Amino acid sequence: MPKVFLSPSTQEWNQYASEGNEELYMNLIADRMEPYLRSSGITYVRNDPSRNVSGAISDSNSAYYDVHLALHSNASPESLAGKLRGIDIYFAPNSQNSERLATIIANNLKSIYPLPDKVNAVPTTTLGEVTRTKAVAVLCELGYHDNYYDEAWIKRNLNEIAKNLVQSLCDYFGIPFVNAGPVLQGVVVTDGSNLNIRSYPSTNSTIIGSIPNGATVTIYGNTNGWYVIFYNGITGYASSDFIVI
């Protein structure tokens, strides 16, 4: 199952137009992403807020991740302070997967940002969180925080932005997006045989683990007769026909 390094901004000195700062609101978006990530079967690790960008890159590179996702908000040059609007999703130009992910994110954000023509996927050769990470990486500049309209959009749409970003990750990974719900416990009930854990909600998908009859599992989500479950260190899909809540 996919694994993401989630890296919201640590730049508390970037003040918003009215109140708050970049670190605060990007972490609020990341907080709201977590339930959707879990319910959709995407495991994740958050960056350490006490470390800078170099620390986030080092931590991301110290383990295997399928995607490194950096969350930021933008600021205009001093000569244009407060005048610019828009969303830029930065990708590594030498990585087809980075560009593909950035394009998916940008296209999906167009559906919730009030100026869709100002949402773009943009190549970068200078942003370290995109160019120096081993994982496929993108950096999202989710509006201009020195612009009152963009600031208001971010603050009023924290959950919608979070949900939209997770939907984009699901599109990229080719797995169903599952709406967040309560985390439940279930018991496997079979004829005595083990219950397969699969990489996709289909009996034709790869078996990545198994659960013995009578075992308790954690249930994160439910999609078309399959539960997104966690058991013995494995996140995957198991048939809901054989799990009793």
Read off the pLDDT of residues 84-119 as tens digits, 9 standing for 90 and up. Answer: 999 999 999 999 999 999 999 999 999 999 999 999
Pairing of strands 136-144, 67-74: parallel
The pLDDT, as a whole number, for residue 116 is 98
The pLDDT, as a whole number, for residue 209 is 97
The pLDDT, as a whole number, for residue 25 is 98
The pLDDT, as a whole number, for residue 74 is 97
Q: What is the pLDDT along the chain (245 residues), one digit of tens a residue?
A: 999 999 999 999 999 999 999 999 999 999 999 999 999 999 999 999 999 999 999 999 999 999 999 999 999 999 999 999 999 999 999 999 999 999 999 999 999 999 999 999 999 999 999 999 999 999 999 999 999 999 999 999 999 999 999 999 999 999 999 999 999 999 999 999 999 999 999 999 999 999 999 999 999 999 999 999 999 999 999 999 999 99
What is the C-alpha to C-alpha distance for residues 90 and 85, in angstroms, rounded to an integer? 16
The pLDDT, as a whole number, for residue 36 is 98
The residue behind tokens 């190549």 is: 123
Among 89, 97, 96, 164, CA closest to 127: 89
CB 7 within 8 A of CB 129: yes
Q: How many CB atoms lie within 10 A of CB 85?
A: 17
The pLDDT, as a whole number, for residue 13 is 95
Go through the domains of the chain in sequence order and give each one's CATH number. Answer: 3-173 (3.40.630.40), 184-244 (2.30.30.40)
